[in-house]
Amino acid sequence: MDTYILGIESSCDETAASVVKNGREILSNVINTQIDFHKKYGGVVPEIASRKHIENIDAVIDEALSAANMSLCDIDAIAVTNGPGLVGALLVGVSAAKAIAYAANKPLVPVHHIRGHITANFLAHKELEPPFVCLVASGGHSHIVNVKDYTDFEILGRTRDDAAGEAFDKIARVLGLGYPGGPLVDKLAQEGNPHAIEFPRVKMDKDSLDFSFSGVKTAVINYIHKAEQKGEEINCADVAASFQNAVTDALCEHTIEGAVAACAKTVALAGGVAANSQLREKMTAMCKKHGISVVYPPPVLCTDNAAMIAAAGYYSYLDGERAGLDLNAVPNLPL
């Protein structure tokens, strides 16, 4: 028998709903992005995010059901992101999911946002099965995760300060590129020399796979300020390319070290930064040397969406995970 999950996502600045069949097949994937409202502030404003989610959530859910040609009666369970994320933003999705679960008498399944990002790979690669090692790099997280089974995850490393996407966004801001910065730095870097400036790559200690991106971020900001003080012209494309090269070196090297130690045959990429063209190319080339294959979702499934939440919810649903109507939003929910 087929299982249909309605997924709801509102942890940051995307209001999203989706219907997924058997955890693998997307029937609808509606994403209402608020980027235009946050752009002028150079980042996500939590209060605006919550208000926009409230305005949009009902229409987004309706659209996801109708695009899938379904009504709530056809849905087996409601899956919702309950953390981590912005608390006010999360609460909108959680409240909507609880109301629907109650009114339609359907099971409610809580989903961890990072698990959702990892699960996007199952939507993009029908043949993919655990175990594998996944690099999750987004605006809020940078984790290396050993995906032992569909619902069994072990964190091998994580950032000790900024997330990789956060560093991309900050560098884009100091280069005057706009928000969100990742895709803009990615594009500009293609015209620059990645070896023009040697920005630092930090290895915390010998046995740790943890990341630190605050050092490279500060180094880039200092480089720009010094050049400005001396009245020297900055080659923005070289700065973008050299910064991106330093960040992707760290992401690739630590992930491969983790994958080799876990004897993984596959490395998966997930989260917004997984859309980065150099990260994809570098990881593929470096993994090849170790006989490890690399998979990643298309860009639309790398950034926030609800299909990944419905898919992750499907595996938790099969595992018997259920939430009551007292489900709360947890901004720092552990994986």
- Give the binding site for ligand KG4 (CB under 6 A): 12, 138-140, 165, 168-169, 180-183, 186, 271-273, 275-276, 303-304
183 or 313: whose CB is closer to ligand KG4?
183
Closest distance to ligand KG4 from the beta carbon of 201 (Å): 17
Minimum Å gap between C-beta 282 and ligand KG4 is 12
E-assigned strands of the chain?
4-9, 14-21, 25-33, 77-83, 108-112, 132-137, 142-149, 152-158, 266-270, 293-295
165-168's contacts with Cβ under 8 Å and 24+ in sequence apart are: 165/137, 165/138, 165/139, 165/140, 165/271, 165/272, 165/273, 166/139, 166/140, 166/213, 167/213, 167/214, 167/216, 167/217, 167/243, 167/247, 168/244, 168/247, 168/273, 168/276
Residue whose CB is less far from ligand KG4, 34 or 146: 34
Token pair, residue 157, equals 């490393």
Tell me which DSSP letter residue 234 carries: P
Helix count and strand count (H, E) for the chain: 11, 10
Which residue from 138, 142, 255, 305 is in contact with Zn ion, where contact means CB under 5 A? 138
Identify what 276 binds: ligand KG4, Zn ion, none; CB under 5 to 8 Å per kind: ligand KG4
Residue 78 or residue 89: which is nearer to ligand KG4 going by CB? Answer: 89
Residue with smaller CB distance to ligand KG4, 4 or 243: 243
Contact 282, 296 (CB under 8 A): no
**Contact partner at residue 121 from Zn ion, ligand KG4, none, CB < 5 to 8 Å by partner kind:** none
Instruction: For Cα atoms 241, 259, 124, give the angle at the middle one, nearest 5 degrees.
Output: 75
Task: With CA atoms as reference, report the closest residue to 245 among 208, 266, 219, 209.
Answer: 219
One-letter identity of residue 219: A
Q: What is the nearest approach in angstroms of ligand KG4 to the Cβ of residue 199?
A: 16
275 contact choice in ligand KG4, Zn ion, none (CB below 5 to 8 Å, kind-dependent): ligand KG4
Closest distance of CB 273 from ligand KG4, Å:
4
Assigned token pair, 306: 């609800």
| 138 versus 242: smaller Cβ distance to ligand KG4 | 138
Contacts of Zn ion in 189-228 (CB under 5 A) = none
Among 163, 180, 304, 305, binds Zn ion (CB under 5 A): 304
Q: How far apart are CA 36 and CA 83, in angstroms?
A: 24
Residue 183 binding result from ligand KG4, Zn ion, none, given CB thresholds of 5 to 8 Å by partner type: ligand KG4
Tokens of 23: 């955890």
Contact between 75 and 103 (Cβ < 8 Å): no
Question: Which of these segments, 43-51, 191-199, 304-312, 327-335, binds Zn ion (CB under 5 A)?
Answer: 304-312
**CA-to-CA distance for 218 and 224, rounded, in angstroms?**
10
Instruction: Pick between residue 56 and residue 303 the one whose CB is nearest to ligand KG4.
Output: 303
* Segment interacting with Zn ion (CB under 5 A) among 34-42, 68-76, 158-166, 301-309: 301-309
> Toward Zn ion, which CB reaches closer, 9 or 186?
9
Rank residues 23 and 181 by Cβ distance to ligand KG4 and give the closer one. Answer: 181
- The interface region with Zn ion, picked from 120-128, 131-139, 166-174, 257-265 by CB under 5 A, is 131-139
Q: Provide the β-strand partners of residue 266.
A: 293
| Pairwise CA distance, residues 116 & 312, whole Å | 5
Residue 329 CB, nearest approach to ligand KG4 (Å): 15
Smallest distance from ligand KG4 to CB 302, Å? 7
Minimum CB–partner distance for residue 330 and ligand KG4 (Å)? 15
Q: How far is CA 240 from the centre of its chain?
A: 21
Binding region for Zn ion (CB under 5 A): 138, 304
